[in-house]
Amino acid sequence: MMKEPKGFMNRNTFEKIIKDIIEEDLCFDKLTPFGLGESTLHPEFFEYMSEIFSMNKSRKYFRSIDLHTNAINLSDELIDLFIKHSDQLNTISFSIDAITEDTYLNIRNNRNFNQMIQNIRKFFIKRGNKRVPRANLQFIVMEENKHEAKAFKDYWSSFLSEHKIDFQINYDWNPPMVKDTIFFKRLNPIKHEEINKSESLHYNTMVDLGLIKTEKNNEIKEERAVKSNEYRGEPKRRYPCSGPFKYMMLNYSGELTVCCIDTLRELSLGNINDSSIINLWNSPLNHSYRLDHIKGDLSRLPRCINCNNLDSPDISIDELERYLKHFGHKDHLKCLEEL
Ligand code: SF4
């Protein structure tokens, strides 16, 4: 479990991030203003988001913005703000995970199930069948809720159809989510030894739902787009993770790490209140992470060794080559031939 206390990002840290981004003229593919907590609980969430939308006119600094929320605090004002800035806010993922109050209470220890459902319905009704902000209705498959997967799919399919909203149903990251999506997601456990268990639970639930066809049923066997347990047998050469190259993860206190999987910040690069974002990002420490990934030697990075996100196609050989050349690590170019 996390050792870090919970907290809210204070205004000084928020303004330091904005200042660094503007001064360095940084441009990101995406801003995701959430992490391990619920951003909408922040007393100044509306103000922070308004300021981000305002500084990011014409998507100068963030080409898109994605938000995850439990929707319990999704007020009319927030929905209106999101719809108004749908040129910037691309996707809202609603963490739902249940179709009954009891299961929701059991999973989240939260009694606001009905409020959450009403808010999500209100979002769709206000937004109508516009394509943005696109919504993900997310159900993470767990032992505690697997029996509700079908009812979840039926309820939201019926609601969206009734409101003439075009949607898709996904159980993996592929096919790309281009419409509103009912998304059955795998649990990403903190303990490495539980990864295979969550993988098979998700797989079996998807077979029961009929989303994955099996040979047993004399139907075409579908291949999973991302086989997260494919590599868990004999250790083999891993493809580098894009995290240290592309993903800045800032927590509420301003600590910077390289991915959202690093919940305990074992890969922390430091705090942006003590240095600039770009100095930390291009620090010798982050270069050492990147080179370890390129060399396929993760012995100094225990957090990365068993991570699901390795071998993702998020970073290309061309990008790795450009990185090595740009930062004067040409002697490592030969490592790319092994990938
Ligand atoms: S391998 Fe996993 S833990 Fe390591 S940087 Fe990538 S996403 Fe983070």
Quote the percentage of the chain above a pLDDT of 70. Answer: 89
pLDDT at res. 307: 77
DSSP codes joined into one string, 269-314: -EETTTS-HHHHHTSHHHHHHHHHHHHT--TT-HHHHT-TTTT-TT
Q: Among positive and negative, which fits the CA dihedral 232, 236, 242, 243? A: positive
pLDDT by residue for the chain (339 residues), tens digit each? 445 667 899 999 999 999 999 999 999 999 999 987 899 999 999 999 999 999 999 999 999 999 999 999 999 999 999 999 999 999 999 999 999 999 999 999 999 999 999 999 999 999 999 999 999 999 999 999 999 999 999 999 999 999 999 999 999 888 899 999 999 999 877 666 677 788 889 999 999 999 988 765 444 444 444 444 444 444 456 789 999 999 999 999 999 999 988 888 899 999 999 999 999 999 999 999 999 999 989 999 988 887 767 666 789 999 999 999 999 999 999 999 888
Mutation test residue for ligand 1: of 191, 226, 245, 259, the one with most atoms within 8 Å of CB: 259
Q: Ligand 1 within 6 A of 309 CB?
A: yes
Taking the centre of ligand 1 as the mean of its atom positions, its distance from the CA of residue 105, in whole angstroms, is 31
pLDDT at res. 197: 86
Going by the DSSP 8-state scheme, the letter that residue 216 receives in this structure is G
Which atom from ligand 1 is nearest to the alpha carbon of 307? 2
Q: Ligand 1 within 6 A of 195 CB?
A: no
Taking the centre of ligand 1 as the mean of its atom positions, its distance from the CA of residue 262, in whole angstroms, is 7
Mutation test residue for ligand 1: of 263, 281, 288, 309, the one with most atoms within 8 Å of CB: 309
Taking the C-alpha atoms of residue 322 and residue 328, their distance in angstroms, rounded to an integer, is: 10
Q: Ligand 1 within 6 A of 283 CB?
A: no
Taking the C-alpha atoms of residue 48 and residue 56, their distance in angstroms, rounded to an integer, is: 12
Q: Ligand 1 within 6 A of 307 CB?
A: yes
The model's pLDDT over 141-175, given as tens digits with 9 standing for 90+, comes to 999 999 999 999 999 999 999 999 999 999 988 88
Taking the centre of ligand 1 as the mean of its atom positions, its distance from the CA of residue 14, in whole angstroms, is 25
Q: Ligand 1 within 6 A of 127 CB?
A: no
pLDDT at res. 164: 96
pLDDT at res. 165: 96
Taking the centre of ligand 1 as the mean of its atom positions, its distance from the CA of residue 291, in whole angstroms, is 13
Smallest CA separation from ligand 1 atom 4, residue: 304
Taking the centre of ligand 1 as the mean of its atom positions, its distance from the CA of residue 259, in whole angstroms, is 6
Taking the C-alpha atoms of residue 51 and residue 259, their distance in angstroms, rounded to an integer, is: 25
Q: Say what angle helices 45-55 and 76-84 make with each other, to 10 degrees.
A: 10
Residue type, 182: I
pLDDT at res. 314: 85
Q: Ligand 1 within 6 A of 243 CB?
A: yes
Q: What predicted TM-score, i.e. pTM, was given to this entire model?
A: 0.87
Contact 257, 268 (CB under 8 A): yes
- Enumerate long-range contacts of 102-105, CB under 8 Å, 24 or more apart: 103/144, 103/145, 103/148
What is the Cα Rg of the chain in Å? 21
DSSP codes joined into one string, 232-275: -SS--PPPPPSHHHH--EE-TT-EEES-TT-TT-TT--EETTTS
- Looking at the chain, list the stretches that DSSP marks H as alpha helix, in order from N- to C-terminal side: 11-24, 45-55, 76-84, 101-108, 113-127, 149-162, 195-209, 243-246, 277-281, 284-295, 302-305, 317-326, 333-336
Contact 79, 55 (CB under 8 A): no
Mutation test residue for ligand 1: of 195, 303, 308, 315, the one with most atoms within 8 Å of CB: 303
